[in-house]
């Protein structure tokens, strides 16, 4: 049945699993100097080359982590702590991933000043307002390449031209969907994740441009050039490398396929009365269809769809434990009741047009049934104020 929650988690490609299986029983530690250790080290470095090749970086600029959250923490906290003598002011966009938002809050508790760059109603960073926030003591700016919840893609090169401080870009959602080229971006640090390109969970990476210095946040034996302590996850890293190799060959053609399904899904959803698109209508991820249904709550929609075998999301899975409305949707100017009625459909490698058609068949009756139970909708339908 249709799985349309790739933004929360993606299946691992069988070709990646096959690559990883070679190393689950391999005993070698990449830090050991004997032959088995050297074999493990070669696996890690080969994967590093593949990951760096996907984003047009040098392999020496890749630091493997346990995922995008850790990479974001390393970038935000690690850079701020290392460069504190240069200044104590950082700026993050108002729609960043919660791991960036919470890293910024941590820094505030430790004496840093943080400003949040506002976005317009489509989720685009307002360049003039971003520029007005920059100060002489601004040392770091963090802006997502694309937002996984509303799909909006930022113009990173334009932001780079405004920002003279270090620039961190969270490219977790965009990797494998649109071009991620660190040289074209001009970013100093870029976060990426394995599972978002159909690799294993629990593996990610931070691109650190040569010359950029950060303090490690996980201390250990000096692995990953001293940037991340702990024995490397050899099978996971090997899987990440294989996923990067596959993605580099296939992403352009795959993105066109996803875009066709996305457009069909959005067009069909917007035919439902009182349904609206979240995010930018054009500058958006090719696999993202984020919409809001007036007068009803997203959780009720999800439960009803799940009974029909359809999986989707109301927003970021990383913030689903809170009952508060999405900070992303609030930042683009939605009211609480509008934010609570939002649903995110995200497509992926195993999505088919039949899945889209199935959703468009099953969802309208669900929306109609839920609205008939909504006092707000019945009041509106009866012409009440």
Q: Say which CATH class 251-381 falls into.
A: alpha beta
pLDDT given for residue 378 in this prediction: 74
- Indicate the SS3 state at residue 272: coil
Catalytic option among 318, 357, 360, 380: 318
Token code pair at residue 222 = 């000096």
Residue given tokens 């066709």 in the structure block: 260
CATH class label, 14-247: alpha beta
Mean pLDDT value across the chain: 95
CA dist 172 and 150 (Å) reads 14
The answer to whether residue 101 scores a pLDDT higher than 80 is yes
Average pLDDT value for residue range 154-181: 98
Question: Which single residue is written with the structure tokens 């990646």?
Answer: 16
Whether the full predicted model's pTM is greater than 0.85, yes or no, is: yes
Mean pLDDT across the stretch 299-306?
Answer: 95
Reported as a pLDDT band with limits 50, 70 and 90, residue 282 is very high
Token pair in block for residue 273:
């009365």
Beta bridge partners of 193: 204
- From CA 338, how far away is CA 320, in angstroms rounded? 17
Q: For position 322, what pLDDT does the model report? A: 57
**Is the pLDDT confidence value at 189 over 90?**
yes
Is residue 135 flagged as an active site residue?
no
Task: Kindly list the strands in the beta sheet with 288-293, ordered across the sheet, starting from the edge strand earlier in the chain.
Answer: 275-277, 288-293, 342-346
Mean pLDDT of 122-139: 98
DSSP sequence for 331-364:
HTT--HHHHHTEEEEE--TT--HHHHHHHHHHHH
Give residue for tokens 């649109």: 178
Q: Mean per-residue pLDDT for 71-97?
A: 97
Pairing of strands 89-93, 138-144: parallel
Res. 324 pLDDT band, cuts 50 70 90: confident
Judge whether residue 381 has pLDDT over 80.
no
CB 137 within 8 A of CB 163: no
Domain residue ranges in the chain: 14-247, 251-381
Per-residue pLDDT reduced to its tens digit, 214-257: 999 999 999 999 999 999 999 999 999 999 999 999 999 999 99
């Amino acid at each position: 049945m249709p799985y349309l929650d790739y933004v929360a988690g993606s299946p691992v490609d069988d070709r990646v699993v096959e690559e990883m299986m070679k190393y689950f029983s391999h005993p070698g530690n990449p830090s050991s100097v004997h032959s088995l250790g050297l074999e493990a080290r070669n696996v890690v470095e080969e994967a590093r080359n593949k990951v760096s090749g996907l984003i047009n970086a040098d392999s020496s600029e890749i630091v493997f982590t346990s995922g995008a959250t850790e990479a974001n923490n390393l970038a935000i906290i690690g850079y701020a702590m290392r460069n504190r003598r240069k200044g104590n002011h950082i700026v993050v966009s108002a729609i960043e991933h919660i791991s960036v938002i919470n890293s910024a809050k941590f820094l505030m508790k430790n004496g840093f000043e943080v400003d949040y760059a506002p976005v317009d109603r489509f989720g685009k960073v307002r360049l003039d307002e971003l520029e007005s926030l920059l100060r002489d003591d601004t040392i770091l700016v963090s802006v997502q390449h694309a937002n996984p919840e509303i799909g909006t893609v930022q113009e990173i090169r334009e932001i780079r031209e405004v920002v003279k401080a270090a620039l961190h870009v969270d490219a977790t959602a965009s990797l494998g969907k649109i071009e991620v080229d660190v040289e074209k971006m001009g970013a100093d640090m870029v976060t990426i994740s394995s599972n978002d390109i159909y690799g294993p969970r629990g593996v990610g990476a931070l691109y650190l441009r040569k010359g950029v210095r950060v303090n490690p946040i996980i201390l250990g034996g000096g692995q990953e050039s001293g940037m991340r302590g702990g024995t490397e996850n050899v099978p996971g890293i090997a899987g990440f490398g294989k996923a990067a190799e596959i993605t580099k060959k296939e992403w352009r053609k795959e993105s066109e396929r996803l875009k066709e399904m996305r457009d069909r899904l959005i067009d069909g959803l917007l035919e439902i009365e009182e349904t609206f698109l979240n995010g930018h209508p054009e500058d958006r991820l090719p696999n993202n269809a984020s919409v809001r249904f007036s007068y009803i709550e997203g959780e009720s929609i999800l439960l009803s769809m799940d009974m029909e075998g359809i999986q989707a999301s109301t927003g970021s899975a990383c913030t689903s434990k809170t009952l508060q409305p999405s900070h992303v949707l609030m930042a683009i100017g939605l009211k609480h009741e509008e934010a609570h009625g939002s649903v995110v459909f995200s497509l992926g490698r195993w999505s088919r047009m039949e899945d889209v058609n199935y959703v468009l068949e099953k969802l309208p009756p669900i929306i109609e049934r839920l609205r008939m139970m909504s006092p707000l909708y019945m009041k509106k339908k009866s012409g009440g104020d």
